Amino acid sequence: MPLLSRTAAASLIFLMAISPLQAESLGVRIGYLQWVPDQGPVLSNVIPEPEDAGLRGAELAINDNNTTGRFLDQTYSMQREVADSPDAALAAFDAMRQSGIELFVVNAPAQTLRTIAGAAGENTLIFNAGARDNALRTGQCHVNLLHTLPSHAMLTDALGQWLNQRRWNEVFLITGPTEADRGWADAFRRSAKRFGLKIVEDKPWTFDADLRRTAARELPLFTQARDYDAVVVADVRGDFGEYVPFNTWLPRPVVGTQGMTPVTWHWVVESWGAAQLQNRFRELADRHMNSEDYAAWAAVRSIGTAVTALGTDDPEEIRSFLFSDSFQLAGFKGRKLTFRDWNGQLRQPIPLVHPRGIVARAPFEGFLHPNTDLDTLGFDRPESECRING
Amino acid sequence: MKSLLKQISLAAMVGLSTPALASLAYVSNEKDDTLSVIDMETLEVVETIDVGQRPRGILLSKDYTRLYICASDDDTVQVLDLATRKIVDTLPSGEDPEQFALHPNNRHLYIANEDDAIVTVVDVNTKDVLAQIDVGIEPEGMAVSPDGKWAVNTSETTSMLHWINTETFEIEKNIVVGQRPRHVEFSRDSKIAWASAEIGGTVHVIDVDSLEEIRKLEFRVKGVNQDRVQPVGIELTSDGRYAFVALGPSNHVAVVDAKTYEVLDYLLVGSRVWQLDLSQDESLLLTTNGVSGDVSVIDVADLKVTKSIKVGRYPWGVVIAP
């Protein structure tokens, strides 16, 4: 950015601070990129993930921002690209940047996200609303990449804390065959170590039979062990995991990616005003709000919160505001949400839900942290090599 | 003098027609679809009244004959006749009414429609909708200044106070405050407005003449994570001495010196303290505690919590009738 315009932006902020309601009109443009690969066929007839997961959350936040912007003479618009390949996503990213957009929400796998972040300019600001990979938070960080979606580790730490506080310390782990399954299971193994859980059996799922007919026969045998307090399933796409509950050798609860699940967001979350967010979303999208929707919503609302306070859409100004003490996102999770300054991860409570109700919400009382108990979930500063703010 | 006589004779008539003379408190139970009625002498629940779905904001008519109830999930405002304790009427409210405020003229009811980003103004006598005013997202708190000049609405997600001129029904000023503003309370002389910001953790004191913020209050409760200190309801004593601020899931009520804005004390009450109201003589303060499902009684002279009264599930609002 040339020095002159940066000075101009700074003086605009100065003006805003004096009289935020008499500013000139401001149009904020945000790009939304989505590339979600096909998950492949699954054995169980699970309810498919909506194809516009993420997109509708971003749209809702644009509406929310505009309602606020109306009183400040600020308007928000979104360019969207639901790509059918990583290359198409990257091409759309370049095209949007050519048109002057520097604020992005990306819902794509880690590899695509890394490529996009690598192609970004110095002042581009990207929000990850699609990749849960731990590596993006531990080593492969990018200065202008923030994450509103929790990592696998944040989710499994929430589960680990819950198992610990229930004193259900011995678990039977079943891991599916996909890369995502292994990523989730690795995160859980780390959580088990952190929260003093013992994995008494650690078995990969290798069956390829259609469990709709044979679950009752296969699973009791598969889950035979001397004893355990719970079965933990790592089956991200819902291939076999839906058949584990009630079919275990011992009468034990099933948790993990099925049964009771740690999630970013779920339609059963209703406290702290969440009911209103859920209603607004249902009215817009005609379906329930899910985790990807929430992450995209939180990203666009973070931008909106910053623009409301700053009166500018300069990505650099927004970035430093998001990492300052003045930023707090009202995210309907009962706490103010802030970004970790070492790796750009949005701190947030994690609901633990079953398909029709909420069980608990992590972090739990008693898991202490010198700064904020929200940092007991996921990678704390010493556990991450990232220092994106120096 | 004439009006005083009229009041006395009216009181005498009311006395003849109703058996109970004690002051009563009404508590809306959000997840029970009921109101709990508390006798202020015995501090016990004397009746539970079935009302519409998800009752939240409640308020009394200026003559204390009727209670208005926001039945949020029924998209209506219900009118309870206090003499018979029966729902006698409903008002058009717009969708999902949450909080409301009655103009001193006893006719204009300002209703925050949480799902629609609108404030609806209804004439309670004619049931006419006088205006619908576009405000920010999730309008929540509503207050009308005692002098009747201003109606103020807080919008939670937009984080603003919208100042509505009650003559023109138009917004004259928007003030950005902390995240998730919940409630506004005016001083008796209409000169000062207090607004709570739940996620911001702050209370903003606004000078009404200049419409500028003159003070921002912050709260620290010993042994409670700062994130859980979430100001919601505010109640002011009429002598201008105290402001009481309900601090949500920190389970404390802050006692603030309303002149110096200094926090004097934090009183431990039930879980997730939400709204509060003073008794007519201002000797007692009742708080609704959503998660513990009870009402705490605070002795204002001693600044001590003296009792808790079990009510329905998720008590939300409380008002005390003389």
What residues of A are in contact with residue B156 (Cβ under 8 Å)?
273, 276, 330
Nearest to B174 among A21, A64, A334 (CB): A21
> Which tokens go with A231?
């079965």
Q: What percent of chain A has pLDDT over 90?
A: 81
What's the CA gap between A302 and A298, in Å, rounded? 6
Q: Which of A1-5, A255-259, A345-349 has the lowest mean pLDDT?
A: A1-5
Lowest-confidence segment of A35-39, A274-278, B163-167, B203-207 by average pLDDT: A35-39
A residues 70..109 contacting B (CB < 8 A) = 70-72
CA B250 to chain centre: 20
Among A39-48, A181-190, A272-281, the range scoring the smallest mean pLDDT is A39-48
Q: Which of A150, A154, A165 is nearest to A364 (CA)?
A: A165
Q: How many A/B residue pairs have CB atoms within 8 Å?
A: 66
Q: Where are the domains of chain B?
A: 24-321
Asked if B192 and B170 count as a contact pair (C-beta separation under 8 A), the reply is no
CATH topology of domain B24-321: Methylamine Dehydrogenase; Chain H (2.130.10)
pLDDT the model gives residue A17:
41
- pTM, full prediction: 0.84
Are the Cβ atoms of A335 and B228 closer than 8 angstroms?
yes
Report pLDDT for A213. Answer: 67
Which domains, and CATH codes, for chain A? 3-150+266-348 (3.40.50.2300), 153-262 (3.40.50.2300)
Nearest chain A residue to B182 by CA distance is A273
Instruction: Find residue B78's DSSP bridge partners.
Output: B69, B90
Are A67 and B158 a contacting pair at CB < 8 A?
yes
What residues contact A58, with CB distance under 8 A and at least 6 apart? A30, A32, A78, A80, A105, A129, A296, A297, A299, A300
Chain B partners of A328 at a C-beta cutoff of 8 Å? 179, 199-200
Strand ranges (E), B135-218: 139-144, 150-155, 160-165, 170-176, 181-186, 192-197, 202-207, 212-218
How far is Cα B25 from Cα B263, in angstroms, rounded to an integer? Answer: 27
* Of A251, A247, A207, A257, nearest in space to A230 by CA: A251
The Cα A164–Cα B55 span in angstroms is 38
Distance (Å) from the C-alpha of residue B282 to the closest C-alpha of chain A? 30
Distance from CA of A24 to the nearest CA of B (A): 16
Report yes or no: A68 at the B interface, CB cutoff 8 Å.
yes
Of A68, A309, A329, the CB nearest to B158: A68
What is the model's pLDDT at position A212?
65
**Helix A55-69 to helix A274-285 angle, to the nearest 10 degrees?**
110
Of A20, A67, A72, the CB nearest to B137: A67
Q: What is the pLDDT of residues A218-266, one digit of tens each?
A: 899 999 999 999 999 999 988 889 999 999 999 999 999 999 999 999 9
What are φ and ψ of residue B225, in 5° steps?
A: -55, 135
Overall size of chain A counted in residues: 390
Per-residue pLDDT tens, chain B, 322 aa: give them: 445 555 555 444 444 444 456 899 999 999 999 999 999 999 999 999 999 999 999 999 999 999 999 998 899 999 999 999 999 999 988 888 889 999 999 999 999 998 888 999 999 999 999 999 999 989 999 999 999 999 999 998 889 999 999 999 999 999 999 999 999 999 999 999 999 999 999 999 999 999 999 999 999 999 888 888 999 999 999 999 999 999 999 999 999 999 999 999 999 999 999 999 999 999 999 999 999 999 999 999 999 999 999 999 999 999 999 9
Is the CB of B157 less than 8 angstroms away from the CB of A70? no
